[in-house]
Amino acid sequence: MQLFKLRNIILYFIYFYFIFLNNLLAETLNESGANVFMYHRFDESKYPSTNINTNQLEDHLIYLIDNEFNIESIDEILQKKIAKQSFLPKTVGFTVDDAFLSFYENGWPIFKKYNIPVTLFVSTDVVNQAHWNYMSWDNLREFINEGGSVALHSASHMHLPLYDISQVKNDLLSSISILNKELNISPKVFAYPYGEASNEIIGLLKDLDIEFAFGQHSGVIHKNTNQYYLPRFSLNEDYGKIDRFIFSANAKPLIIKNFLPNKILLKKNTIPQIQFDLISKVNNSQLNCFSNSGGEWNSVDLKIDLNKHVELNLTEPFLAGRGRINCTTKVGTDWLWFGYQFTIN
């Protein structure tokens, strides 16, 4: 009888030890990341694909504040990334592209009201041309004085991968020198216009001492993310509804390695053999990938082997422009996300 009790006690200990170990493992595997949001226009309903209404924006900010998110500037996030420091739980940051006047007049006042830092990616030609729909240099100087941060978004806002690399270099050098002259800044962060990148342009950014570059593909930044191809969650009138915002803010990184093809710029009318190895511990049967190949978002057939090697079986080529994939899965209560964008020419 005594022996039986002792055995039960030992079994209990073993049982609780494994539960403890399991929780510990689950925590270390669900790596922390930083979720960065991207907006363009504010209260310009004529352009629903790039616009957010300021009441939606305010709902987003209030959600983050009420739920005690750790809102950091893009510079803080990127410094942690380069130092390979882990991010605090619930770290998020804000970017706005293009410096439309509607950001200055409608968006920035709301960010200021809640004391939330914004990095603004500015294409310099339109500002230089004093285009009526864009911020002026004076507006940008005031934005910086009020705590805003300005970063690079090319001079011309052209589809960079479609041009000769020497033209791209001239364009970037022009935007760097004019930001230096007008705003007295030397930004180290770039955002590809339309999120369109190529390996050749990444090489150029490195030559120009630019340290980080954002795309426009969805996903969560973590310590292994390519610092020259950082993901962001794009928010607009449709994709900015509060449910989708809450989902984006709470998404965790789906960590992969050995992603192929390793070229970002692909030829149209060919079906790429997309594959990668999963690092995040996920249930194979619950991994879902979607792609816009053929011009429409569809679920993709996956082949996953015992070594967690994943192959996407696309049935149609991507159309010219932006070829995107998104892979997601649920682990416990967390949604893990990996997104990628190819430039298709």
Which two three-digit tokens encode residue 322? 């932006």
List 234's β-bridge partners, or say none: 38
Query: What is the smallest separation between the CB atom of 218 and Zn ion, expressed in angstroms?
Result: 16
When asked if residue 171 is in the footprint of Zn ion (CB under 5 A), the reply is no
Query: How many CA atoms lie less than 13 Å away from 144 in the CB half-sphere?
Result: 17
Please report, as residue ranges, which positions from 203 to 262 form the binding site for Zn ion (by CB under 5 A): none
Q: Residue 160 or residue 310: which is nearer to Zn ion going by CB?
A: 160
End-to-end CA distance of the chain: give it in Å, rounded.
Answer: 77
Among 72, 98, 182, 196, binds Zn ion (CB under 5 A): 98
Query: What is the smallest separation between the CB atom of 256 and Zn ion, expressed in angstroms?
Result: 27
By beta carbon distance, the residue nearest Zn ion is: 97
Binding mask of the shown chain, residues 323 to 342, with x at each position contacting Zn ion by CB under 5 A? --------------------
| Binding segment (CB under 5 A) for Zn ion, from list 5-13, 192-200, 253-261, 289-297 | 192-200
Pairs from 83-88 (Cβ < 8 Å, separation ≥ 24): 84/223, 86/31, 86/32, 86/223, 87/32, 87/33, 87/34, 87/221, 87/222, 88/32
Query: What is the smallest separation between the CB atom of 175 and Zn ion, expressed in angstroms?
Result: 12
Q: Residue 160 or residue 300: which is nearer to Zn ion going by CB?
A: 160
The count of chain residues that interact with Zn ion, using the rule CB under 5 A, is 3
Query: What is the smallest separation between the CB atom of 153 and Zn ion, expressed in angstroms?
Result: 6
Query: What is the smallest separation between the CB atom of 110 and Zn ion, expressed in angstroms?
Result: 20
When asked if residue 97 is in the footprint of Zn ion (CB under 5 A), the reply is yes
Question: Beta-carbon neighbour count of residue 115 at 10 Å?
Answer: 10
Please report the beta strands in the chain, taking only residues with DSSP state E, as ranges in sequence order.
34-39, 41-42, 51-52, 70-71, 91-97, 119-122, 149-152, 189-191, 212-214, 233-234, 252-253, 256-260, 265-266, 275-278, 288-291, 298-304, 309-313, 321-331, 334-344
Query: What is the smallest separation between the CB atom of 169 and Zn ion, expressed in angstroms?
Result: 19
Q: Residue 99 or residue 116: which is nearer to Zn ion going by CB?
A: 99
Binding site for Zn ion (CB under 5 A): 97-98, 193
